């Protein structure tokens, strides 16, 4: 009898362990053709602020957003101009490229989002427009969340487009919330919650509202009725931490939101970028300061409730371009995820210098 009870207990334990992990997306295998997008000094652009021609992607091309339209993959890449300036001291513009197979890309000759001499100049110049995430609202309307960087404060910003090429800057995401309470607070890295419709990740509504995870040092949640005025979730009049770094783990220094989150049968899946600490909190199985990718699962009925997260990273720097570049400590920084040709394509920044690809069947 005892043996029979032990047998059934082991069966239940195995079944629980399997089910506890079946929410994870992957495994992802890196492309042997990495990098799939690289800098190119031959591309020139007449800067409307400098009134001069600049080599707008001479230094680095990285941290891509991704979207599928017309059976093609479109990447929106962060492109930096001056290779002699340090991290944070360059001007970033967002470029566009397209691919029939998700691997080989053709670049648009001009950037599609960049600092202009307009009402947003005070927010996104001279640092530029950084780290986009793009989602479809329908087949003819798209929203981009990106970082405006003026070399002083990074602010989460919003732009709309009807064709992926011409973008209208709409707002600083939290500008109107409580009369600008977070106007001058560092805000970045937004992952709008989506659902897979006709093989496309499309902005989803939960309880009649749009939602997004966002944040760098911790993860917060925000909601919106119109996709450009966002309301962060607070607790005791402060930003609520719904996911924090963990001592001894790959995300011991920070948890930065990655590609758009996805509604699944198990819950809301969020891929995020974890940075390893450089002190006693570090995961000693990884180099200090390294960026790797993890996954988290949230409750579909209560998106602020964390259900599970990976104890170890699902993607980390191993290829030469991922450990030698602008961020030499090592970086696989995921920002773009699409379902394309019956596979998941994950696009990421390689050491803040190139665009890499990993694929899951």
Q: What integer is the mean pLDDT of 269-273?
A: 98
Domain-embedded: residue 211: yes
Helix runs in the chain, H state only: 2-21, 121-124, 320-323
Q: What integer is the mean pLDDT of 356-361?
A: 96
Domain-embedded: residue 7: no
Q: How much is the pLDDT for 14?
A: 36
Domain-embedded: residue 138: yes
Three-state DSSP class for residue 27: coil
Question: Rounded distance, CA 201 to CA 263, Å?
Answer: 10
Between 87 and 3, the more confident residue is 87
Domain-embedded: residue 5: no
pTM over 0.85: yes
Domain-embedded: residue 346: yes
Domain-embedded: residue 20: no
- Range of the structural domain that residue 68 is part of: 31-360
Structure tokens at 167: 């973008």
Q: How much is the pLDDT for 328?
A: 86
User: Across all residues in the chain, what is the average pLDDT?
Assistant: 94
pLDDT at 117 exceeding the cut of 70: yes
Question: Rounded distance, CA 165 to CA 338, Å?
Answer: 19
Burial of 322 (0-12, 13-18, 19+ CB in 10 A): buried
Domain-embedded: residue 9: no
The backbone torsions φ and ψ at residue 269, rounded to the nearest 5 degrees and listed phi first, read -95, 125
Question: Rounded distance, CA 45 to CA 263, Å?
Answer: 39
pLDDT at 274 exceeding the cut of 90: yes
Q: How much is the pLDDT for 10?
A: 37
Domain count for the chain, please give it. 1
Q: How much is the pLDDT for 1?
A: 45
Q: What integer is the mean pLDDT of 245-272?
A: 98
Q: What digits encode the pLDDT tens for the residues 164-174?
A: 999 999 999 99
The pLDDT confidence band at residue 88, using thresholds 50, 70 and 90, is confident
Domain-embedded: residue 14: no
Closest by CA position to 51, among listed 116, 110, 5, 98:
116
pLDDT at 7 exceeding the cut of 90: no
Q: What digits encode the pLDDT tens for the residues 20-31?
A: 679 999 999 999
pLDDT at 37 exceeding the cut of 60: yes
Q: What is the CATH number of the domain that holds 231?
A: 2.115.10.20
Q: What integer is the mean pLDDT of 103-131?
A: 98
Structure tokens at 293: 């990718």
pLDDT at 141 exceeding the cut of 60: yes
């Amino acid at each position: 009898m005892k043996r029979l009870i032990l047998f059934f207990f082991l069966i239940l334990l195995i079944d629980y362990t399997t089910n506890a992990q079946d929410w994870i997306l992957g495994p992802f295998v890196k492309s042997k053709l990495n990098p799939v997008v690289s800098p190119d000094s031959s591309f020139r652009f007449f800067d409307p602020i400098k009134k001069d021609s600049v080599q707008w992607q001479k230094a680095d091309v990285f941290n891509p957003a991704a979207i599928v339209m017309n059976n093609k993959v479109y990447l929106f890449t962060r492109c930096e101009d001056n290779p002699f300036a340090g991290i944070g001291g360059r001007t970033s513009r967002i470029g566009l490229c397209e691919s029939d197979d998700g691997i080989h890309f053709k670049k648009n000759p001009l950037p599609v989002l960049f600092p202009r001499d307009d009402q947003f100049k005070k927010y996104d110049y001279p640092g530029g427009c950084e780290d986009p995430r793009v989602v479809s609202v329908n087949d003819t309307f798209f929203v981009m969340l990106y970082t405006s960087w003026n070399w002083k404060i990074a602010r989460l910003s919003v732009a709309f487009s009807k064709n992926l090429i011409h973008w209208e800057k709409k707002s600083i995401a939290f500008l109107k919330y409580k009369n600008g309470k977070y106007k001058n607070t560092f805000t970045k890295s937004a992952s709008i919650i989506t659902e897979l419709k006709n093989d496309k990740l499309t902005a989803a509504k939960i309880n009649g509202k749009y939602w997004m995870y966002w944040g760098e040092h911790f993860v917060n949640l925000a909601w919106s009725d119109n996709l450009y005025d966002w309301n962060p979730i607070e607790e005791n009049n402060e930003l609520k931490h719904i996911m924090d770094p963990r001592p001894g783990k790959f995300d011991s220094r920070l948890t930065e939101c990655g590609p758009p989150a996805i509604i699944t049968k198990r819950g809301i899946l969020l891929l995020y970028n974890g940075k390893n600490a450089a002190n006693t909190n570090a995961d000693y199985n990884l180099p200090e300061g390294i960026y790797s990718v993890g996954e988290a699962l949230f409750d579909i009925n209560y998106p602020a409730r964390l259900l599970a997260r990976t104890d170890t990273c699902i993607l980390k720097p191993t290829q030469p371009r991922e450990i030698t570049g602008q961020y030499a400590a090592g970086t696989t920084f995921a920002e773009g995820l699409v379902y394309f040709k019956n596979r998941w394509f994950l696009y990421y920044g390689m050491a803040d210098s190139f665009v890499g690809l990993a694929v899951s069947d």
